[in-house]
Structure 1
Amino acid sequence: MSLTLSHVVLPTYTKGLATLTHILNAAADYAKANGLDADAEFVGARLVPDMLPLSFQVQNATNTVRRTLARLQGQEDQPWADGETTIAQLLERVEKARELVKGADAAVIDAKAGEEVDLPFGPKITIRLTSQASALDQGIPNFFFHLQTAYAILRSKGVPIGKRDFIGNFITLPQQ
C-alpha cells in the first residue's frame, strides 16, 4: 500500500486532537485536585507576556484543522467564533474539530492532493501551491506548533504532564 495524503493528514489530526483533549482534561483534573479554578488558572495562561494564551493555542490548532481540511477537500472554509473562556468550552471546540476529521472524505483529499490551492500567509500575502504542500508544509507544522505550545503552557503552570502525555496518542503499540 502506498502512502497517501489522507493517510498522513487524517491520523495526524486525529491523534493530535486526542492529545489536546488529554492535556486539557489533565489540567481540569489537576485544578480540581488542588482546589484551583481551572478556567481562571489556565485559559488565559501564557508562557511569556507577549505570547497569546492557552485559549488562542487551542483555537488556532482547531482552526488549522478546519482550514486545512476545507482546503484539501475543495470546500469553502466556515470560520468558527473564537470566544471560548472555559476549559469545558475548549474541550467542546476540540471535539468539534475531531468530528470534522471523522467526516473528512479521504478519497477526495487524495484526489485533490496535486491540485493548486491558495494559502493565505499573513494579512497581505497568498501563496499558490498544491493541496499536498499546503497540508505538509503549513497545516501539519502549524497544528503541531499550537498543540506543543498548549502543552508547554499547561506544563509551565504545574499540570503534571510529560512526554508520554504528549506523544502517547501518536504511538500505536503492537497487539499482544
Structure 2
Amino acid sequence: MALTFHKMAVAPAISALKNAHFVVSKGYEHAKASDPNTFLTASLHPDMKDFRYQIYRLTDAAKFIPSRVNPSLEGITLPDEEQTFPELLERIEKCTKYLESFSEKDFEGKQDDEVIIKFPGGQKQVRMPAAEYISRFAHPNMWFHIVTAYDILRMKGVDVGKMDFLNGAGGITIEDVPQQ
C-alpha cells in the first residue's frame, strides 16, 4: 500500500483527535468527582493558556489541514465557545467527522502546492509547500496542544498514560508476543 499525501496529512490528525477524545473523556470522568471547572481553567504555568484553549487550538490545527492544502475544499467553522467537557468533546467529534469526510482524491498532487498561513494581527505570514506545512507546522502545532492538554490532565491527577495518548481510541492493534 502506497503512502499517499492524504494518509500523511489527514490520517495522523484523525488518529490524534480520536485519542485526544479518549483522554479528554477520562479527564471528564475524573473531574466529575470534584469541580470540573478547575480542570477546564487549569494551565501548566501562569503565562500559558488553559485546558479549553488547548482543545480549541488542537482542533483548529487539524481542521485547517484540508482547506489550506486544497483551497477548493470547504472549511469548517468552530468558534471558541465551548466551556464544558461535553462541549469540548463534541468539538473534537465535529472536527474528526469533518476530516473523515475527505478522500485521497482531495489531496492528490497537492503536496507541492504553496500554502500561505497568515498569523493573527495580519503582520506576519509563512509560505511553504503543502507537504512541509503538514510536517513542520500543522502536525507539530496539533501535537503541541494535545500534549499540553494531556499534561494538564496529568497535573490534575487524571490516570492517563502513554498508551492512552498513543492508542486510547484503539487504532493500533497490540498483541501478545507468541511464547516459544
Say whether the fold is shared (TM-score over 0.5).
yes
Q: Does 2:21 align with 1:21?
A: yes
Corresponding residue for 1:112?
Answer: 110
Shift of 1:158: 0.5
| Cα distance in structure 1, aligned partners of 2:25 and 2:58 | 17
* Greater shift in the superposed pair: 21-30 or 51-60: 21-30
Q: CA 1:63–1:166 in 2, change beyond 3 Å: closer, same or farther?
A: same
Q: Which amino acid aligns with 1:118?
A: I
SS at match of 2:134: helix
Q: Which amino acid aligns with 1:30?
A: H
SS at match of 2:127: strand
Corresponding residue for 2:135?
Answer: 136
Q: What's the CA shift string for 1:7-36, capped at 9, x where partnerless?
A: 12222111101111111110111123xx21
Corresponding residue for 2:155?
Answer: 156
Corresponding residue for 1:167?
Answer: 166
| Cα distance in structure 2, aligned partners of 1:164 and 1:175 | 14
* Greater shift in the superposed pair: 79-88 or 56-65: 79-88
C-alpha contact 2:9 2:65 (8 A) present in aligned 1: no
| Cα distance in structure 2, aligned partners of 1:90 and 1:174 | 29
C-alpha contact 1:73 1:105 (8 A) present in aligned 2: no
Q: Does 2:70 align with 1:73?
A: yes
* Greater shift in the superposed pair: 126-135 or 43-52: 126-135
Corresponding residue for 2:39?
Answer: 42
Shift of 1:171: 6.0
| Cα distance in structure 2, aligned partners of 1:152 and 1:175 | 27
Q: What's the CA shift string for 1:105-150, capped at 9, x where partnerless?
A: 3212122221112122454221221111111110011000000000
Gaps of 5+ in 2: none
Q: CA 1:87–1:73 in 2, change beyond 3 Å: closer, same or farther?
A: same
Q: Which amino acid aligns with 1:133?
A: E
Q: CA 1:26–1:92 in 2, change beyond 3 Å: closer, same or farther?
A: same
| Cα distance in structure 1, aligned partners of 2:98 and 2:104 | 12
Q: How many pairs does the alignment contain?
A: 173
Instruction: Return the TM-score normalized by structure 1.
Output: 0.89
| Cα distance in structure 1, aligned partners of 2:78 and 2:144 | 20
| Cα distance in structure 2, aligned partners of 1:141 and 1:52 | 17
Gaps of 5+ in 1: none
| Cα distance in structure 1, aligned partners of 2:115 and 2:161 | 37
| Cα distance in structure 2, aligned partners of 1:78 and 1:18 | 18
* Greater shift in the superposed pair: 144-153 or 19-28: 19-28
Runs (4+) of structure 1 moved beyond 6 Å?
none
Corresponding residue for 1:9?
Answer: 9
Q: Which amino acid aligns with 2:27?
A: A
Shift of 1:167: 1.1
| Alignment RMSD | 1.9
C-alpha contact 1:57 1:150 (8 A) present in aligned 2: yes
